[in-house]
A and B are shown apart, each in its own frame.
Chain A
Amino acid sequence: MENTEPLIFERSSPGRHGYSLPESDVPAVAGGDTIPAHWQRDSLPLPEASELDVVRHFTRLSQRNYSIEHGFYPLGSCTMKYNPKVNDATAGLPGFSFIHPDQPESTIQGALALMHNLSQALMKITGYANCSLQPAAGAHGELCGVLMIRAHHVKQGNPRRKMIIPDSAHGTNPATAAMCGYTAIEVPSNTQGTVDMDALAALLDEDVAGLMLTVPNTLGLFEQDIVEICRMAHEVGALVYCDGANMNALLGTVQPAALGLDVLHLNLHKTFTTPHGGGGPGAGAICVNETLEPYLPVPLVSEDDGVYAWDYDRPDSIGRIHSFYGNFLNQVRAYTYICTLGLEGIKRAGEYAVLNANYLKERLRDAYALRYDRTCMHEVVFAGLKEKAEGVRTLDVAKRMIDYGFHPSTVYFPLIVPEALMIEPTETENKDTLDTFIAALLAIAEEAQSEPDKLKDAPVSAPVRRLDETTAARRPNLRWQPPE
Chain B
Amino acid sequence: MDYVPHSSEDREAMLRAIGVAGTEDLFHDIPADVRHPTLNLPPGMAEPEVIRHLNALGRQNQNVQDMPSFLGAGCYNHFIPSIVSALILRGEFLTSYTPYQPELSQGTLQAMYEFQSLVCLLTDMDVANASMYDEATATAEAVLTACSITRRSKVIVPDTFHPTTLEVLETYAEGRELTLVRVPAFTLADDGTFHDCWEAVSAAIDADTACVAVQVPNFFGWVHECQQIADVVHANGAMLVVSADPVALGILTPPGAYGADIVTGEGHSLALPPAFGGPRLGLYATQKRFMRQMPGRVSGMTKDLDGKRGFVMTLQAREQHIRREKATSNICTNEALAALAFTINVSWLGPAGMRKKAELCLSKSHYAAAQIDALPGFTVTSPGPYIKEFVVHCPAAVRSVNEHLLEQGVLGGYDLGRVRAELNHHMLVCVTELTTRQDIDRLVAALKALG
Contacts and interface: CB of A to CB of B under 8 A. Distances in A.
The yes or no verdict on A and B being binding partners is yes
B373 interface: no
B223 interface: yes
Nearest to A26: B367
B445 interface: no
Contacts of B27: 253, 354
Contacts of A276: 95-98, 333
A232 B282 CA distance: 41
Nearest to B13: A431
A68 to B, nearest CB: 4
B440 interface: yes
B167 A90 contact: no
A345 B308 CA distance: 47
A34 B174 contact: no
A279 B34 contact: no
B207 interface: no
Interface in A281-339: 281-282, 297, 318-330, 332, 335-336, 338-339
B314 A175 contact: no
Contact of A339 (B45, B303, B325, B440): B45
Given A25-B437, A104-B406, A279 B349 contact: no
B348 A19 contact: yes
Interface in B106-158: 106-108, 110-114, 116-118, 120-122, 126-128, 130-131, 133-137
A243 B301 CA distance: 34
A319 B353 contact: no
Contact of B103 (A4, A16, A26, A463): A463
Nearest to B321: A171
Contact of A54 (B4, B338, B348, B433): B348
B376 interface: no
A113 B61 CA distance: 10
Nearest to B387: A35
A422 B79 CA distance: 43
Interface in A3-50: 4-5, 7-9, 16-22, 24-31, 34-36, 38-41, 44-49
B276 A254 contact: no
Shortest Cβ-Cβ A-B pairs, 10 listed: A324-B277, A95-B58, A342-B44, A181-B175, A110-B60, A277-B337, A19-B353, A101-B277, A69-B91, A279-B336
Interface residues of B, number: 207
Contacts of A356: 14
Residue with the highest number of chain B CB atoms closer than 10 Å, among A4, A41, A51: A41
Residue with the highest number of chain A CB atoms closer than 10 Å, among B104, B319, B344: B104
Contacts of B112: 278
B195 interface: no
B420 interface: no
A172 B310 contact: no
B64 interface: yes
Residue with the highest number of chain A CB atoms closer than 10 Å, among B171, B321, B363, B385: B171
Interface stretch (B186-194, B198-206, B250-258): B250-258
15 contacts: A18-B353, A39-B225, A57-B347, A65-B104, A82-B3, A99-B64, A109-B60, A137-B333, A181-B176, A282-B333, A318-B174, A336-B50, A342-B42, A374-B29, A465-B103
A83 B37 contact: no
A86 to B, nearest CB: 5
B96 A278 contact: yes
B437 A26 contact: yes
Contacts of B448: none
Interface string A110-127: 110110000001001101
A478 B61 contact: no
Given A84-B3, A336-B54, A125 B41 contact: yes
A221 B28 CA distance: 11
A346 interface: yes
A44 B57 CA distance: 43
A476 interface: yes
Contacts of B116: 478-479
B357 to A, nearest CB: 6
Nearest to A32: B251
B54 A97 contact: no
B161 interface: no
B340 interface: yes
B65 interface: yes
Given A86-B47, A279-B297, A27 B110 contact: no
A103 interface: yes
Given A90-B50, A358-B18, A34 B167 contact: no
B36 A253 contact: yes
Contact of B44 (A48, A345, A399): A345
